[in-house]
């Protein structure tokens, strides 16, 4: 059934495929090799494969398939060009896709040439190699997995267990992407026009390509602060009092109402390389310097004073260096698909911050060690920070951490997936013992985590109305004198809450690492207990009942929208 393909971006019910423009260079070439024999209905196609600089690509791989070919999963053979980059083949009249691939020490390059062949005429063409790219996206899988294929190419891709798929090793260009389930019950062809972003709207009976209206500026015009005021009015928990771009923090940490400025991010670039022609070396090479790209996320984030950061367009904003924030900022991705990748975002005694509708994904460092950058790190006495409707994905270790005296933090309606641990709150007591840090967590979705959903070391933690699914070790771990108030959460895991962080060599819990937990009205978490040393939240809030619709609401409304 087609409902297999309901998109993971639930609010828009769409699937995004990123594609980019590419150049192909065509031209005549000489024919030095042998011509393969054929029938009267066939004639020769001769190609010379060239590198980007025009030199012949020796021993490049070449594959020719009908332009409407769709893979069944069986690999098709490649041919090799000769030492001068030439390859010849015979073909009947028809439309073909010629794919070329070449791998050198500097990396892989490729090209796809589409040609219409007349068997009465011999063809001689040149194809020049360019860089490779990918098409990627997400689907929510059902009883059967959909399969993604590219017309004319040998590509057969099934999404992983989380619905994520990548069609890689494509030269940048325009391709027909076919979507079908494994039984072939439903199928549609999605043509990726050069440079476009495709959205696929799914129902039980059809799949349609939707091209949303393109907006050249932010959805919230400069000077109209009513939307910002409406956003701030929704904050709750420990972050109450945050004003973001509508406030200013004084030297004592007090936040007062203030008139902010709007900064619209107009480019996905981070740094630019600039040549200084006044300094040229003996070889004639000008000195180069990396500067912050005008209109970039980094330029807006580094502005002095309260700033409302908006995004002109959807896209991936790849941070080439850690983004260290100044205070009094609102990063507002509503109305856009904003993906922040690369080196991560950090606070350094910077407070009064709002992060709204952002997706943190694909870090620059992917090895699982302590050098791996967190997506968002709230550090060093930062306070009044609100993270709302954000998605954190594909980080190898910890996706978000709050530590070193940071307090008055609220994380709401966000999604944490594909990591070891979703949220780290505080540091082990043998490093830093912190009792002043505070955090509220509500309506968050924790899924596909190999270790813990939330790991708390010290401080006060209030977790309510969160959903935990497929978290291996523990949903909430409360250790090192942390006082955790856990109420009305839903757990679909074996170990909902754990109170120890460390065990000795014989597997016995170490008393000094004990946490203290009060548990009230949780689903699938055992009996209620009152053990948080008298701690209970001192602010007003309203916790939803764990009814039949609760898990659906958190799963489908959490994260970016």
pLDDT tens sequence across 500-547: 767 788 878 787 889 999 999 999 999 999 999 999 999 999 999 998
Based on the fold, state whether residues 194 and 324 are members of the same structural domain.
Answer: no
Residues 406-415: what's their mean pLDDT? 97
pLDDT band at 105 (very low <50, low <70, confident <90, very high): low
Based on the fold, state whether residues 53 and 141 are members of the same structural domain.
Answer: no
Based on the fold, state whether residues 379 and 509 are members of the same structural domain.
Answer: yes
Residue 429 within any structural domain of the chain:
yes
CATH number at residue 46: 2.60.40.10
Residue 150 within any structural domain of the chain:
yes
**Considering 148, 177, 210, which residue would you say is the last residue of a domain?**
210
Based on the fold, state whether residues 9 and 48 are members of the same structural domain.
Answer: no
Note the pLDDT of residue 241. Answer: 97
Note the pLDDT of residue 138. Answer: 54
Q: Determine which of 148-152, 253-257, 272-276, 513-517 has the lowest per-residue pLDDT on average.
A: 272-276
pLDDT tens sequence across 171-195: 767 778 877 765 555 566 665 543 3
Based on the fold, state whether residues 520 and 446 are members of the same structural domain.
Answer: yes
Please answer whether residues 349 and 253 qualify as being in contact, where contact means their C-beta atoms are separated by less than 8 angstroms. Answer: no
Under DSSP, the state recorded for 293 is P
Based on the fold, state whether residues 542 and 500 are members of the same structural domain.
Answer: yes
Tell me the C-alpha distance between 174 and 67, whole Å. 13
Note the pLDDT of residue 483. Answer: 96
Which long-range CB contacts under 8 A does 186-190 form with residues at least 24 apart? 186/1, 186/2, 186/5, 189/151, 190/17
Return mean pLDDT, the chain: 80
Note the pLDDT of residue 397. Answer: 87
Can you read off the two tokens belonging to residue 556? 């489908």
Note the pLDDT of residue 389. Answer: 97
- Residue entry with tokens 């000008």: 286
Based on the fold, state whether residues 64 and 189 are members of the same structural domain.
Answer: no
How many domains does the chain divide into?
A: 3
Note the pLDDT of residue 391. Answer: 97
Based on the fold, state whether residues 113 and 143 are members of the same structural domain.
Answer: no
Based on the fold, state whether residues 196 and 56 are members of the same structural domain.
Answer: no
**Considering 105, 131, 157, which residue would you say is the last residue of a domain?**
131
Residue 560 neighbours by CB under 8 Å, 6+ apart: 9, 11, 333, 337, 338, 357, 358, 359, 389, 390, 391, 415
Tell me the C-alpha distance between 487 and 515, whole Å. 16
Residue 238 within any structural domain of the chain:
no
Based on the fold, state whether residues 364 and 489 are members of the same structural domain.
Answer: yes
Tell me the C-alpha distance between 163 and 145, whole Å. 9
Tell me the C-alpha distance between 355 and 349, whole Å. 16
pLDDT tens sequence across 450-492: 999 999 999 999 999 999 999 999 999 999 999 999 999 999 9
Note the pLDDT of residue 148. Answer: 79
Residue 302 within any structural domain of the chain:
no
Residue 239 within any structural domain of the chain:
no
Burial classification of residue 264, based on how many CB atoms lie within 10 Å of its CB (0-12 exposed, 13-18 middle, 19 or more buried): middle
Burial classification of residue 267, based on how many CB atoms lie within 10 Å of its CB (0-12 exposed, 13-18 middle, 19 or more buried): middle
> Does an H or E element contain 550, and which?
helix 550-557
Structural domain harbouring 87? 42-131
Residue 505 within any structural domain of the chain:
yes
Based on the fold, state whether residues 77 and 195 are members of the same structural domain.
Answer: no
Strands 94-104 and 61-66: antiparallel
Q: Taking the C-alpha atoms of 357, 316, 212 and 194 in order, what is their torsion angle to the nearest 10 degrees?
A: -170
Q: Of 328, 286, 279, 278, which Cα lies nearest the Cα of 307?
A: 328
**Considering 110, 131, 152, which residue would you say is the last residue of a domain?**
131
Can you read off the two tokens belonging to residue 452? 């813990």
Report which of residues 144 and 243 the model is more confident about.
243
C-alpha angle with apex 133: 129 to 135, nearest 5 degrees?
140
- Residue entry with tokens 């924790």: 446
Residue 308 within any structural domain of the chain:
no
Based on the fold, state whether residues 59 and 182 are members of the same structural domain.
Answer: no
Residue 162 within any structural domain of the chain:
yes
- Residue entry with tokens 């205070």: 327
Tell me the C-alpha distance between 294 and 269, whole Å. 9
């Amino acid at each position: 059934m087609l409902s297999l393909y309901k998109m993971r971006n639930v609010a828009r019910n769409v699937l995004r495929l990123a594609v980019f423009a590419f150049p192909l260079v065509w031209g005549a070439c000489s024919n030095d090799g042998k011509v393969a024999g054929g029938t009267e209905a066939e004639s020769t196609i001769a190609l010379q494969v060239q590198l980007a600089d025009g030199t012949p690509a020796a021993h490049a791989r070449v594959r020719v398939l009908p332009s409407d070919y769709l893979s069944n999963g069986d690999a098709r053979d490649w041919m090799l060009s000769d030492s001068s980059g030439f390859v010849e083949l015979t073909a009947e009249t028809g439309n073909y896709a010629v794919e070329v691939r070449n791998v050198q020490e500097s990396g892989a390059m490729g090209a796809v040439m589409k040609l219409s062949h007349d068997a009465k005429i011999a063809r001689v063409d040149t194809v020049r190699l360019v860089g490779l790219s990918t098409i990627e996206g997400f689907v929510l899988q059902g009883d059967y997995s959909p399969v993604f294929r590219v017309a004319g190419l040998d590509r057969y891709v099934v999404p992983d267990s989380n619905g994520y798929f990548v069609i890689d090793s494509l030269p940048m260009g325009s391709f027909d992407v076919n979507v079908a389930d494994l039984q072939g019950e439903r199928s549609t062809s999605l043509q990726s026009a050069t440079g476009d972003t495709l959205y696929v709207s799914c129902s039980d009976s059809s799949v349609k390509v939707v091209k949303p209206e393109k907006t050249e500026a932010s959805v919230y015009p400069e000077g109209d602060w009513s939307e910002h005021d409406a956003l701030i009015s929704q904050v709750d928990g420990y972050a109450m009092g945050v004003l973001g771009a509508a406030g200013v923090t004084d030297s004592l940490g007090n936040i007062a109402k203030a008139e902010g400025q709007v900064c619209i991010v107009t480019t996905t670039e981070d740094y630019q390389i600039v040549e200084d022609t006044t300094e040229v070396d003996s070889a004639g090479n000008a000195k180069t310097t990396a500067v912050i790209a005008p209109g970039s996320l980094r330029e807006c984030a580094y502005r002095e004073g309260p700033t409302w950061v908006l995004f002109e367009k959807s896209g991936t904003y790849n941070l080439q260096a850690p983004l260290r924030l100044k205070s009094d900022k609102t990063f507002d991705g509503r109305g856009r698909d904003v993906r922040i990748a690369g080196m991560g975002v950090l606070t350094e005694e910077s407070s009064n911050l709002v992060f709204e509708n952002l997706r943190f994904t694909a870090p620059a460092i992917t090895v699982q060690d302590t050098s791996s950058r967190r997506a968002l790190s709230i550090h060093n006495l930062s306070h009044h920070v609100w993270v709302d409707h954000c998605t954190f994905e594909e980080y190898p270790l910890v996706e978000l951490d709050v530590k070193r005296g940071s307090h008055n933090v609220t994380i709401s309606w966000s999604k944490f997936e594909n990591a070891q641990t979703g949220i780290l709150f505080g540091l082990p007591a043998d490093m830093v013992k912190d009792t002043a840090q505070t955090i509220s967590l509500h309506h968050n979705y924790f899924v596909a985590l190999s270790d813990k959903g939330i790991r708390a070391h010290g401080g006060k933690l209030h977790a309510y109305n969160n959903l935990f699914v497929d978290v291996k070790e523990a949903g909430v771990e409360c250790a090192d004198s942390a006082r955790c108030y856990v109420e009305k959460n839903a757990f679909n895991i074996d170990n909902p809450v754990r109170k120890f962080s460390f065990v000795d060599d014989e597997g016995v819990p170490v008393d000094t690492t004990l946490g203290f937990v009060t548990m009230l009205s949780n689903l699938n978490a055992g009996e209620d207990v009152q053990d948080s040393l008298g701690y209970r939240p001192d602010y007003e809030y309203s916790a939803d009942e764990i009814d039949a619709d609760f898990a659906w609401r958190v799963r489908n409304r959490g994260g970016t929208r």
